[in-house]
Amino acid sequence: MKSYTGLFIDGASRDASAGGRITLYYPATGERSGEVAAAGPGDVDAAVESAHRAWEAGWRDLAPGKRAEILYAIARAIRENLESVAQLDRVNIGKPIADARDEAALGARVFEYYAGAISGFCGQTIPVAKGGFDFTLRQPMGVVAAIVPWNFPFPIACWKVAPALAAGNSVVLKPASLSPLTALELGRLAHAAGLPPGVLQVVPGAGSAVGDALVTHPRVRKISFTGSTEVGARIMQLASGDLKRVSLELGGKSPNIVFADADWESAAEASPMSVFANSGQDCCARSRVFVERSIFEPFVEGFVAATRRLVVGDPAKAETQLGPLVSAAHRASVEEFLEDARARGSSFAHGGARPFPEGFFLEPTVLLGVKNTERCWREEIFGPVVCIVPFDDEAQMIREVNASPYGLSGSIWTNDLRRALRVARLVESGVISINSHSSLHVEAPFGGFKRSGIGRDLGMSAMEGYTETKNVFIAG
């Protein structure tokens, strides 16, 4: 592991112009693990201007087949370097190595998908009333700013960068200050695979300085953001002056609904990882579990037993399922929620404590008896905490599910097909899975209703979001 990495601008690593640096810590031990350059507004300006030049000078007009070749080459480069990419996220944010390997492979898969999508992405011919010939072009926008979080640093960066490049844009990528390493590595690998200098720039740096400079830069045409609802709302406000395009993938408080007619034993076995995976630092975490009352007690018993079997510990070990939280400050914010639950008399069916003296670990925690007015029920915790409640009436349960300001993801467990489809239609969320906890498919749209965001990542929807539609009419 290198102890210092520069910004990635114009195909090369460079220091920040004002000499800023970010210190990184290994969350499993709390020890210092390295440093990266921290961009300032001057570096952002240089990165954006140069990304614009690279776009105008050739990337915009490159034949689609050539663009596809380069994206396939980036995917190959990621696959050839899978282990080193995975180790970077393991050391950077304490991600369990098995997950980090899967996420590196997902990043490669995303580039492959969009390399293939380029040739199938097209406009329409339209039989306009005037006669003549009318058709639409999908044109790239120019410079896209991609601002990404720390929970899934590599795949989220890939699923913004790949479709934006595929559509013919250049990208300035800002990783979270806690997790810059795999974004910088993506810049390096993409350049080595043949991406022209300047088409992908990577500028770590404080959100307040780099983020604002990016969002307000006159050459940036679109901001694609994943992170907190508060920062997403601020970006939307800042972007409104120039009517910049925005897509926002934000927080969640997703439901996991289990009916008595389901194979609920399997649901109880599978459900802990639907909320505790990535130590709960997941916008799709199914953190509110609704269980039909007749099976509530045995379901909770099965859920707690499966939670006890989860392997919490050293992220370097292949068998580890849950690593540490990303930082001491983030663990402290999760513990505040647990204090609130304790003070209000919720019952802890499992967890609630720090399992090890070192590192930023927290046990997966199962709360019962939480009221719908409490913080743990209403707010996104972004840690390994779940609330399980019983329900009697389907309609009342759906009202409670939809009372959340969020609407990102969710699961429904039932063997009644009509009920499954009825509830799936009524739950206000952008993604829903039936008898499964899967939220994400490279080929399908991903994003939220309400305060969970605007716009969609992944699938062809993402390509659409990185283009403008131009209508062309030829008099006939």
CB closer to ligand NDP out of 34 and 227: 227
Q: Rule CB under 6 A: is residue 419 a binding residue for ligand NDP?
A: no
- The CB-of-247 to ligand NDP minimum distance in angstroms stands at 12
Q: Rule CB under 6 A: is residue 99 a binding residue for ligand NDP?
A: no
Name residue 222's beta-bridge partners.
144, 245
> Could you tell me the two tokens for 168?
């013919």
Question: Which one of residues 250, 258, 304, 338 is an interface residue with ligand NDP (CB under 6 A)?
Answer: 250
Q: Sign of torsion, CA 83 84 85 87?
A: positive
**Does residue 283 have an active-site annotation?**
yes
- In angstroms, rounded to a whole number, what is the distance separating the alpha carbons of residues 264 and 98? 27
3-state secondary structure of 448: coil
Set 249, 335, 374, 380: catalytic member:
249
> What is the amino acid identity at position 186?
L
Name residue 433's beta-bridge partners.
411
Name residue 172's beta-bridge partners.
145, 201
- The CB-of-412 to ligand NDP minimum distance in angstroms stands at 22
Cβ distance 55 to 142 under 8 Å?
A: yes
> Could you tell me the two tokens for 134?
């009318």
Question: Which one of residues 25, 150, 303, 377 is an interface residue with ligand NDP (CB under 6 A)?
Answer: 150
Query: How many chain residues interact with ligand NDP (CB under 6 A)?
Result: 27
- The CB-of-434 to ligand NDP minimum distance in angstroms stands at 23
Cβ distance 236 to 227 under 8 Å?
A: no
Q: Rule CB under 6 A: is residue 40 a binding residue for ligand NDP?
A: no
**Does residue 284 have an active-site annotation?**
no
Q: Rule CB under 6 A: is residue 207 a binding residue for ligand NDP?
A: yes
Site for ligand NDP in 375-404 (CB under 6 A): 380, 382
> Could you tell me the two tokens for 184?
């910088």
Strands 21-26 and 12-14: unpaired
Q: Rule CB under 6 A: is residue 14 a binding residue for ligand NDP?
A: no
- The CB-of-110 to ligand NDP minimum distance in angstroms stands at 16
Set 112, 158, 185, 283: catalytic member:
283
Cα dihedral 383, 384, 389, 391, rounded to 10, equals 80
Q: Sign of torsion, CA 416 422 428 431?
A: positive
CB closer to ligand NDP out of 174 and 350: 174
Q: Rule CB under 6 A: is residue 39 a binding residue for ligand NDP?
A: no
Question: Of 318, 310, 312, which is closest to residue 28 (Cα–Cα)?
Answer: 312
Q: Give the per-residue contact string, 162-191, with ligand NDP (x = CB under 6 A; - = no).
A: ------------x-xxx-------------
- Residues at the site binding ligand NDP, with contacts judged by CB under 6 A: 147-151, 174, 176-178, 206-208, 211-212, 215, 226-228, 231, 234-235, 249-251, 283, 380, 382
Q: Which residues are catalytic?
A: 249, 283
